[in-house]
Structure 1
Amino acid sequence: MTDAVCLPALYRLLTFVSPAFPIGAFTYSHGLEQVIDEGGVACAADLSAWLEDILRFGAGRGDAILLKETWRAALAGSRETVEELRDLGLALQPSKERHLESSAQGTAFFNAVAKSWTPPGETAAGALFRSFAEGDREPWPYPVALGLVAAAHAIPEKAAVTAFLHAFTANIISVAVRAVPLGQSDGQGVLAGLEPVVFDVADEAVASGLDDLGTSTFLADIASMAHETQYSRLFRS
């Protein structure tokens, strides 16, 4: 299994995780808006510490494992396993808003790919994606949808996991840039500082299995619950 990415696969990966891809990622804060409102994140150092915990012990790591497991199931052409991972990805969400965050983005992502990006060649993963696209209308958790699409488009597993974690991190940083507010330079500094964390989490996710799923970011989960009743909100989660 190689980590090398050919140019067509790289082109598709850059497209799929781009902030311009039409899934509405910019409208979700993963509970961070509530944390900022309560004063828990007020500067770049606070943001870096909060995000590192989310990546290592929260949804970052968990979603990366789900993506990887879906990628492997899709490569094997196992529809049943992908369906089980889809259900699991939705069931693991700790709050109503986090369920919306993952399912709305994942379903929008799947539908956008189905309409515009036909998987190349005749592979088991490509055939599986097309079978879902032709008649399945169930909601998709975002990492499971991305894992299926990455396999269907011959995007290597490690590259897909790393790009997913980078995009997740960059999107949450953009929330803080707008809501703290932080300067763009501070935001980029946080992203640069978290590079080794993203690589560590990607390595761990690739080496982990479903038995390793689990989170311990209780404050972030509680923040996502409290955000549902926050008086003034810019974000949907």
Structure 2
Amino acid sequence: MPAIETSDNALLRVLQLASPALPIGGYAYSQGLEYVIEQGWVSDLDSAADWLEGLASQGLARLDVPLLLRQYTALEQGDTDALARWNDWLLASRETAELYLEDSQQGGALLRLLCSLELPVALDWPKGEPIALATAFAMAGWYWQTGSRQLALGVLWSWLENQTGAATKLIPLGQTDAQRLLDRLLPCLPAVVDAAALLEDDDLGAGLPGLAFASARHENQYTRLFRS
């Protein structure tokens, strides 16, 4: 049975999961942004905002977030087959080796953390089976009863904060411009969740050739600060 949380505690759990202190290594990944900046596709605050807004609205809104919502529902319904099926579907949707490793390595790190916290849903995951980050987030959110929408917003915030941190180092942006970037993009996140919630199963999937190309090229980039 999931833990029963008050609304205040549920919010704190979302903040815990969204925190950069969560030991899953999110700070080590740029999702191709390092290559994008080297090529001059992103060079300042405005171009960074455009790139990240595109990833959120055309990628996360059509793949990661709707899958997270479905996995949360599967856990509510006790449907472990659906949880595993959506997990495999999400991992199979990663278009490069880097993006697959980023997802599965962070998912595995979060699963190990949840097991150390003795969450039964995490302990029941088959040993050695790859797990997507969204799947592990769904497990934690369901167990702590955060609500699927609040969990999705927390996951999006965590992604945006990591991407902003990468842009701050790589463009580079000053601290004030980094806050301007967050200020510009934060209002987009609820719309991402709204769009994701409306998708039918047949509408799922994201094709972002620029991201795929940047990720593939990043693997052989001459100098790298980030793992992807």
- Please, what TM-score do these two structures have when normalized by structure 1? 0.90
Tell me the equivalent position of 1:91. Answer: 92
CA distance in 2, matches of 1:5, 1:29: 35
Tell me the equivalent position of 2:124. Answer: 131
1:65-76 aligned within 5 A: 65-76=66-77
Please list the CA deviations of residues 95-118 of structure 1 after superposition, one character each: whole Å capped at 9, or x if unmatched: 0000011111111011112202x4
Q: Does 1:24 align with 2:25?
A: yes
Tell me the equivalent position of 1:188. Answer: 179
CA distance in 2, matches of 1:17, 1:90: 21
1:120-199 aligned within 5 A: 128-132=121-125, 135-199=126-190
Give the superposition deviation at 1:58: 1.4
Q: How many residues align?
A: 224
Tell me the equivalent position of 1:111. Answer: 112
CA distance in 1, matches of 2:132, 2:211: 19
Give the superposition deviation at 1:231: 0.7
Give the superposition deviation at 1:5: 6.7
What CA RMSD, in Å, does the superposition of the two structures yield over aligned residues?
Answer: 1.6
Tell me the equivalent position of 2:226. Answer: 235
CA distance in 1, matches of 2:219, 2:167: 18
CA distance in 2, matches of 1:17, 1:79: 25
Q: Which consecutive residues of structure 2, in runs of 5 or more, have no partner in the other structure?
A: none
Paired AA for residue 75 in structure 2: A
Q: Is the 8 A contact 1:31 1:227 kept in 2?
A: yes
Please list the CA deviations of residues 204-223 of structure 1 after superposition, one character each: whole Å capped at 9, or x if unmatched: 11222332212132111110
Q: Is the 8 A contact 1:177 1:183 kept in 2?
A: yes
Give the superposition deviation at 1:199: 1.0
SS in structure 1 at match of 2:124: helix
Give the superposition deviation at 1:190: 1.0
CA distance in 2, matches of 1:96, 1:73: 28
Percent identical residues: 32
Q: Does 1:9 align with 2:2?
A: no
The farther-off stretch of 212-221 and 11-20 is 212-221
Paired AA for residue 139 in structure 1: P
Give the superposition deviation at 1:11: 1.8
Give the superposition deviation at 1:48: 0.2
CA distance in 1, matches of 2:138, 2:65: 9
Q: Is the 8 A contact 1:102 1:141 kept in 2?
A: yes
Please list the CA deviations of residues 127-164 of structure 1 after superposition, one character each: whole Å capped at 9, or x if unmatched: 544422xx533121111211122112111011001111
Q: Does 1:221 align with 2:212?
A: yes
